[in-house]
Amino acid sequence: MKELLELKEFDTIICNPDYKDQYRWMDKNSFAELIEFIHAFDSDDVESDILDFIKVGYKRNLGETVTFKNYVGLIQIKNKYMIQILPKIEFINGEKDETKQVFMKMLRSMKDFPSKVFTKANLKTEQMNLYEIFINMYLQEVRTLVKHGIKSSYTSQEDNLHFYKGKLLVNEHLKANLAHKERFYVCFDEYQVNRPENRLIKSMLLKLQKLSSSAENGKEIRQLLTSFELVEPSKNYDEDFAKVVIDRNTKDYEMLMKWSKVFLKNKSFTTFSGTDSAKALLFPMEKVFESYVARQLKKSLLGLNWDVSCQDKGFYLFDSPKQFALRPDIVITKEDGSKVILDTKWKRLIDNTKINYGISQADMYQMYAYSKKYGTSKIWLLYPITQELKDKVTISFNSNDGVTVTVFFVDVADIENNFMTLRRLLLET
C-alpha cells in the first residue's frame, strides 16, 4: 500500500531531512521521482503548462522545493507515495475543518465531472483519501446501474453446435464437420449481457479490486462482481469504448463510461495526463471555483426574473476586425435590461491597501473592459474569503467615468448563507 502524503495548496515539499518539521518532507529517491513525474507530465492544451501550477524551485539551505498552486487532486508516483493536494479553504465561523467534503461538493458542480450520486451522508470522506472516494463514487454508480438492471443486447455468435440454430456458415461447416455429420457450424444472435459497456465495467471492478486498500470498497466490489458473472472482462479497451453509444436506452452508462476512461486509460479530468508508471487526477481550482459559484448563484437567485448566463459570448475587445473575445464568468440581465457582470478569481487577497489587497492590475483592466463593452457600471469580482478579510463584506473601486468594481468574498464552506448576502446586495444595485 502506498504511503499517503497529504498537503494543501501552497504547501511546499522538500527532501532535506534537516527541515522536515517545518515543511512537507519526502525521502530523496521519492522526491526525485516526483520531479521526474512533473517534467514528464503532458498536456493536450498548448496554453497549459504544468510548471505554471506546480513550481519546482530551489532555496538556499533548504535545497530543491516543489510547491502546488491552483491545481488540487491526487498524484501517484511509481515509488511508495500517493500525494493528496487539497484546496486552501478557510473555515471562518469556527466550523470543523471539512475540506474534503467541501471540495467534493465543489467538484459536483462541474459539468464534466462524472458523478450524480455523491452526498455527504453516503461517503465516509474522513476515513478515505481522494482516490478511495473516487473509487467509492464509481461503485455507487455501478450499484445504481445494477438496481435499474444491467442492459442486455443481441450479439452475433459463431459456434459448432449439435443442433441447427440461426444461419449455416457453409464454408466453415464443411471445414469443421466432414467427420461430424451430427454438428452444424452456424451463426446466430444471442440476447446476453456480454456487451461492450458491461465488459468495461467488469474490467474496472477487477482493476479497482487490486488498487483499493479500503475494506469498505473491497466489500462493495466483491458484491457487485456477482452481478457481472456472465460478463467477460474487456480484451481491448479502445475497441470496446469505440462501440459504446450513449442514447436514451443506455443513459445509465453515461457516467460510468466517463469514470472508466479515467481509471482504465489513466486519463485525468484535466488536459493533463500521466505516464504509464504514474497517475494523476488533478482539478484546476479556477474552474472548480467558477463552476461552484455559478451553480450556487443560480440557486440563490431563484424566484427573480433574471437571466443568468455563464461564460457569456458575443463581445470582443476590438470590433474591426473582431479580435480578443471577452468571456466574463457570469452575466446577469435584470428585468429592466440592465446587466451585472461577475467574475471569479481563485486567489487569496490580503488586508493591505498599499498593494491593492493583492488584486492584479490585469484583473482590473479586464473588469474595466467588461464594463465598457457591456455598457454597465455594475462589475463584481468574487474572491474566496480569508481570515484576514472576514470582516469586510465588500470592497469597492470607483473610476471617474462611471465604472464601479465591487469585490465580494465567497465563503465556500458556508456558501448558501453567504450568497443570501450577495443576493441582497445584487437586488440593491
* pLDDT tens track for 12-53: 999 999 998 888 998 888 888 888 888 776 554 444 556 667
Q: Which three cell numbers stand for residue 146?
A: 445494477
Report how far residue 81's alpha carbon sits from residue 78's, in angstroms, rounded to the nearest whole number: 8
Q: Which three cell numbers stand for residue 351?
A: 488586508
Please indicate whether residue 213 or residue 277 has the higher confidence score (pLDDT): 213
Q: Looking at the structure, do residues 294 and 424 belong to the same domain, yes or no? A: yes
Q: Is residue 115 part of a domain?
A: no
Which DSSP letter does residue 233 get? P
Q: Which three cell numbers stand for residue 365?
A: 483592466
Q: How far is CA 411 from CA 89, 342, 367, in A?
A: 9, 16, 22
Provide the mean pLDDT of the chain: 84
Report how far residue 43's alpha carbon sits from residue 272's, in angstroms, rounded to the nearest whole number: 4
How many CB atoms within 10 Å of residue 115? 17
The type of residue at 280 is A
Report how far residue 416's alpha carbon sits from residue 429's, in angstroms, rounded to the nearest whole number: 20
User: For position 364, what pLDDT does the model report?
Assistant: 94
Q: Is residue 104 part of a domain?
A: no
Q: Is residue 201 part of a domain?
A: no
Report how far residue 292's alpha carbon sits from residue 189's, in angstroms, rounded to the nearest whole number: 48
Is pLDDT at 296 greater than 50 in this prediction?
yes
Q: Looking at the structure, do residues 74 and 158 belong to the same domain, yes or no? A: no
Q: Looking at the structure, do residues 69 and 168 belong to the same domain, yes or no? A: no
Q: Is residue 352 part of a domain?
A: yes
Here the contacts of 400-405 (C-beta below 8 Å, separation 24 or greater) are 402/371, 402/377, 403/367, 403/368, 403/371, 403/372, 403/377, 403/379, 404/377, 404/378, 404/379, 405/364, 405/367, 405/368, 405/371, 405/379, 405/380, 405/381
What's the domain count of the chain?
Answer: 3
Q: Is residue 73 part of a domain?
A: yes
pLDDT of 247-276, one tens digit each?
Answer: 888 888 888 888 888 778 766 555 444 555
Helix residue ranges, H only, 159-195 = 170-176
User: For position 117, what pLDDT does the model report?
Assistant: 54
Of 136, 182, 140, 138, nearest to 160 by C-alpha is 182
Q: Determine contact, residues 264/258, Cβ cutoff 8 Å.
A: no
Radius of gyration of the chain (CA): 27
Q: Is residue 412 part of a domain?
A: yes
Please indicate whether residue 1 or residue 363 has the higher confidence score (pLDDT): 363
Q: Looking at the structure, do residues 290 and 424 belong to the same domain, yes or no? A: yes
User: For position 362, what pLDDT does the model report?
Assistant: 92
User: For position 271, what pLDDT does the model report?
Assistant: 40
Q: Looking at the structure, do residues 71 and 169 belong to the same domain, yes or no? A: no
Segment 212-216 mean pLDDT: 86
Q: Looking at the structure, do residues 186 and 71 belong to the same domain, yes or no? A: no
Give the whole-number percent of the chain exceeding pLDDT 70.
Answer: 89
Q: Is residue 233 part of a domain?
A: no
Q: Looking at the structure, do residues 401 and 310 belong to the same domain, yes or no? A: yes
Q: Is residue 211 part of a domain?
A: no
pLDDT of 45-90, one tens digit each?
Answer: 444 556 667 888 889 889 999 998 888 888 887 766 788 899 999 9
CATH number at residue 361: 3.40.1350
Which DSSP letter does residue 232 get? P
User: For position 121, what pLDDT does the model report?
Assistant: 46
- Residue 20 belongs to domain spanning: 1-86
Judged on CB neighbours under 10 Å (0-12, 13-18, 19+), 302 is exposed
Ramachandran region, residue 324 (left: φ > 0; alpha: ψ -120 to 50; beta: rest): left
Q: Which three cell numbers stand for residue 269?
A: 479530468
Q: Determine contact, residues 373/315, Cβ cutoff 8 Å.
A: yes
Report how far residue 72's alpha carbon sits from residue 280's, in angstroms, rounded to the nearest whole number: 10
Q: Looking at the structure, do residues 158 and 75 belong to the same domain, yes or no? A: no
Boundary-marking domain end, from 86, 117, 136: 86
Q: Looking at the structure, do residues 81 and 175 belong to the same domain, yes or no? A: no
pLDDT of 328-352, one tens digit each?
Answer: 999 999 988 889 999 999 999 999 9
Please indicate whether residue 179 or residue 331 has the higher confidence score (pLDDT): 331
Boundary-marking domain end, from 68, 86, 104: 86
Segment 206-233 mean pLDDT: 91
The type of residue at 139 is L
Q: Looking at the structure, do residues 75 and 165 belong to the same domain, yes or no? A: no
